[in-house]
Amino acid sequence: MIEKTGVPTRTQILKEFPDLIVLKKPKAIIECYKDIPCNPCDTSCPFDAIHVPQDINQRPQINFDKCTGCGVCVYHCPGLAITVRQIKADKAILKIPYEFVPLPQKDAIVKVLDRSGKHLTDGLIKQVRINESQDKTAIITIEIEAKHIIEAMTIEVPYGS
């Protein structure tokens, strides 16, 4: 249970996903499982795809028809709770927010972790993006096998080294 472990249940996770067919195009997956007063995902979205109700304590709603998977919300979310996911043939492309140093290098093979921090699979770094507007939150694009599209969440960080 997420209130005890920090890990959402599979049912909770699946509720945030569209039908996998929709993920032929990149889409933002918002994993904000509890009401908190917050709305930068809504105000930062250039395509008006994310909506937080008048009471900003309520959870964001995403319109997958409008979402282009641009990733602007990914680095604006103070909870780092948004990823962008896409299925390309037998590969899944995952864009994650990343706030650690050193940044991974393009073409490196990295350990991909699930929501409980377990090593799920290995992934290939396709892109590392960091610019002024991202305010120090890098966006890392990782390629993994398509079957991990739902479970994959982040990559191993170099802490403690």
Q: Which is nearer to another protein, 56 or 146 (CB)?
A: 56
Among 25, 61, 147, 158, contact with another protein (rule: CB under 8 A):
158
In what side-by-side order are the strands of the sheet with 82-88? 27-30, 82-88, 91-98, 138-145, 119-129, 109-113, 154-155
Query: What part of residues 9-28 is at the interface with another protein (CB under 8 A)?
Result: none
Q: What is the three-class DSSP state of 34?
A: coil
- Asked whether position 99 contacts another protein by CB under 8 A, the answer is yes
| Nearest-approach distance from CB 103 to another protein, in angstroms | 8
CB of 25 to another protein, least distance (A): 25
Q: What are phi and psi of 66, to 5 degrees?
A: -90, -30
Per the CB < 8 A criterion, the answer to whether 127 and 84 are in contact is no
Question: What residue ranges bind another protein (CB under 8 A)?
Answer: 2-8, 31-40, 43-44, 55-58, 76-81, 99-102, 113-117, 135-138, 153-154, 156-161
